[in-house]
Amino acid sequence: MATYKLPISSDPRQRMTFNAGGMNVSLTMYYNPIPDGGQWFIDLADAESDEVLVSGYAIVCGAPILKRMTLPFYFRLIDTSGLNLNPYGGNDMGSRCELHVIEK
Protein backbone atom coordinates (compact mmCIF):
# COMPACT_ATOMS: atom_id res chain seq x y z
CA MET A 1 0.00 0.00 0.00
CA ALA A 2 1.51 3.31 -1.10
CA THR A 3 0.85 6.41 1.00
CA TYR A 4 1.16 9.99 -0.24
CA LYS A 5 1.03 13.26 1.69
CA LEU A 6 -0.97 15.80 -0.30
CA PRO A 7 0.38 19.38 -0.57
CA ILE A 8 -2.41 21.18 1.30
CA SER A 9 -2.44 24.54 3.08
CA SER A 10 -4.78 26.66 5.17
CA ASP A 11 -6.18 28.29 2.02
CA PRO A 12 -9.97 28.04 2.54
CA ARG A 13 -10.52 26.69 -0.99
CA GLN A 14 -7.99 24.41 -2.67
CA ARG A 15 -8.03 22.28 -5.78
CA MET A 16 -5.52 19.71 -6.96
CA THR A 17 -5.24 16.69 -9.20
CA PHE A 18 -3.40 13.50 -8.27
CA ASN A 19 -3.12 9.88 -9.32
CA ALA A 20 -3.79 7.07 -6.84
CA GLY A 21 -4.41 3.42 -7.62
CA GLY A 22 -4.24 4.14 -11.34
CA MET A 23 -7.01 6.73 -11.15
CA ASN A 24 -6.63 10.46 -11.94
CA VAL A 25 -8.58 12.35 -9.31
CA SER A 26 -9.55 15.98 -8.92
CA LEU A 27 -9.82 17.02 -5.25
CA THR A 28 -11.45 20.22 -4.04
CA MET A 29 -11.05 20.95 -0.34
CA TYR A 30 -12.88 23.84 1.28
CA TYR A 31 -13.47 25.34 4.70
CA ASN A 32 -16.83 26.40 6.15
CA PRO A 33 -16.38 28.63 9.23
CA ILE A 34 -19.84 27.79 10.60
CA PRO A 35 -20.34 26.45 13.30
CA ASP A 36 -17.69 27.74 15.74
CA GLY A 37 -14.36 26.16 14.88
CA GLY A 38 -15.55 25.40 11.36
CA GLN A 39 -15.33 22.25 9.29
CA TRP A 40 -13.31 21.14 6.27
CA PHE A 41 -15.01 19.33 3.38
CA ILE A 42 -13.87 17.56 0.21
CA ASP A 43 -15.32 17.01 -3.24
CA LEU A 44 -13.83 14.35 -5.51
CA ALA A 45 -14.22 13.90 -9.25
CA ASP A 46 -12.70 11.67 -11.90
CA ALA A 47 -10.17 14.06 -13.48
CA GLU A 48 -10.65 12.55 -16.94
CA SER A 49 -14.45 12.38 -17.17
CA ASP A 50 -15.39 15.03 -14.54
CA GLU A 51 -17.77 12.47 -13.00
CA VAL A 52 -18.50 13.52 -9.43
CA LEU A 53 -17.44 10.79 -7.01
CA VAL A 54 -18.04 12.54 -3.67
CA SER A 55 -19.52 15.93 -2.83
CA GLY A 56 -19.53 17.78 0.48
CA TYR A 57 -17.84 15.07 2.57
CA ALA A 58 -16.67 16.32 5.99
CA ILE A 59 -13.15 15.21 6.91
CA VAL A 60 -12.05 14.41 10.46
CA CYS A 61 -8.91 13.12 12.17
CA GLY A 62 -8.51 9.57 13.37
CA ALA A 63 -10.80 7.72 10.97
CA PRO A 64 -10.21 6.37 7.47
CA ILE A 65 -12.01 8.70 5.06
CA LEU A 66 -13.98 7.05 2.22
CA LYS A 67 -12.39 3.65 2.90
CA ARG A 68 -15.68 1.80 2.39
CA MET A 69 -16.20 3.23 -1.08
CA THR A 70 -15.13 1.29 -4.15
CA LEU A 71 -12.34 3.78 -4.90
CA PRO A 72 -8.80 2.33 -5.19
CA PHE A 73 -7.69 4.63 -2.33
CA TYR A 74 -8.87 6.36 0.82
CA PHE A 75 -7.74 9.33 2.89
CA ARG A 76 -6.51 9.85 6.42
CA LEU A 77 -6.34 13.25 8.11
CA ILE A 78 -3.44 13.17 10.56
CA ASP A 79 -2.95 15.46 13.56
CA THR A 80 0.84 15.80 13.78
CA SER A 81 0.61 16.89 17.44
CA GLY A 82 -0.37 13.32 18.31
CA LEU A 83 -3.53 14.46 20.10
CA ASN A 84 -5.81 13.32 17.25
CA LEU A 85 -7.80 16.57 17.29
CA ASN A 86 -9.79 17.78 14.31
CA PRO A 87 -8.69 21.03 12.70
CA TYR A 88 -10.06 23.97 14.66
CA GLY A 89 -10.45 27.14 12.68
CA GLY A 90 -9.06 27.53 9.21
CA ASN A 91 -5.37 27.67 10.11
CA ASP A 92 -4.66 24.10 11.26
CA MET A 93 -4.89 22.51 7.83
CA GLY A 94 -1.52 22.02 6.18
CA SER A 95 0.37 22.71 9.40
CA ARG A 96 -0.88 20.65 12.35
CA CYS A 97 -3.20 18.56 10.15
CA GLU A 98 -1.95 16.69 7.08
CA LEU A 99 -4.03 14.89 4.48
CA HIS A 100 -2.68 11.54 3.27
CA VAL A 101 -3.87 9.30 0.42
CA ILE A 102 -3.51 5.55 0.99
CA GLU A 103 -3.86 3.15 -1.93
CA LYS A 104 -5.87 0.01 -1.19
Kindly report, residue by residue over 71-97, the tens digit of the pLDDT.
Answer: 999 999 999 999 999 998 889 999 999
Instruction: Provide the pLDDT confidence category of residue 23 given band limits of 50, 70 and 90.
Output: very high
Contact between 11 and 27 under an 8 Å Cβ cutoff? The reply is no
Residue type for 2, please? A
pLDDT for the residue numbered 81: 96
Domain edges within the chain:
3-103
Instruction: Provide the percentage of residues in the chain whose pLDDT is more than 70.
Output: 100
Per-residue pLDDT reduced to its tens digit, 50-78: 999 999 999 999 999 999 999 999 999 99
Task: State the virtual CA torsion across 52, 54, 55, 57 in degrees, nearest 10.
Answer: -170
